[in-house]
Amino acid sequence: MTTLAIKTNELIEYFATSSIEFRNAFKSTLPAGKIDTNRKTDSQTCGLIIPLKGSARFSLNGVPYYINENMIVHAGAGMDIEIKTFEEEWSYVVIHYHLIHAEEHFKSFINKHFSIEIDHMDDVLNVIQQLLGKNMNPDYFSQFELKVLFMNLLQAILHGARNSQYNFTLQQVTKILDYFHTHYEEEVSISEVADMFDIDRRRIAYLFEKITGLTPIQYLTRYRISKAKELLTISELTVSEISETVGYQDSFYFSRVFKNITKMSPSNYRKVHQG
């Protein structure tokens, strides 16, 4: 059976749109040359297997993952486990989380296993050490800190996965994102942006799809609408003035775009969010 990997954008979307809850964490060490069988993952939670030292073959439902210092494995609930270590002992951490709610196409993640390649593990391991240090504390503030650290851990994992998969590509897209964030109120031509950064327009579209899951125009549109939502909530500017402020000279077109994304007209959005 073949090891399964996951697309970084799919992983990001899963954690961004799902409601999840940290449950527990534990550290384990197996000696060299050990075969550990007849175990199962927790029946109610998903898990992240994060290596600390050494390498091992970690099989889930018969599918082997050769976990090294740059790989994290996601395990679903109730899966058969077999672990084989090699010439040195293997230390690892398991993070359990509960999937409370997910979009329909992500509900199956409770029964999925896959690998996540990480560029550099330093940030991940730093958060892991903090999380393990708080994990046994029974006070409520420590329990709150664990929730924060769990989200910090996911952020470090996703950031590392993006860097691992894209690296230079991410640097190119980040420059264009910065340009969008500072020039969204202007008329932006993707062709001109392509010339400015010396990247073919089709290449920009390809890079954006890989990094953000959106086309350049979709990203710019959503960013403008986010700014418009902020202005509708905190300012007294008219809808027409806000339209111009976020880069739309035609306020009627702006209203159509706004309603298409938010399912509300700008004026209704203001009524709801300004109380």
pLDDT per residue as tens digits for the range 37-87:
989 999 999 999 999 999 999 999 999 999 988 899 999 999 999 999 998
Q: What is the pLDDT of residue 165?
A: 67
Average predicted confidence (pLDDT) for the chain: 91
2 in any annotated domain: no
Q: What is the CATH number of the domain that holds 16?
A: 2.60.120.280
118 in any annotated domain: yes
53 in any annotated domain: yes
Same domain, 125 and 199: no
Same domain, 40 and 159: yes
Same domain, 33 and 140: yes
Q: What is the pLDDT of residue 200?
A: 83
Q: Are 90 and 56 in contact (CB under 8 A)?
A: yes
Question: Letter for the amino acid at 79?
Answer: M
Q: Which residues contact 11 (CB under 8 A, 6 or more apart)?
A: 116, 158, 161
Overall pTM > 0.85: no
Q: What is the pLDDT of residue 196?
A: 82
Please say if the pLDDT value at position 2 is more than 60. no
Same domain, 158 and 177: no
Q: What is the pLDDT of residue 52?
A: 95
Please say if the pLDDT value at position 262 is more than 90. yes
Domain residues for the domain of 262 are 169-273
Please say if the pLDDT value at position 1 is more than 60. no
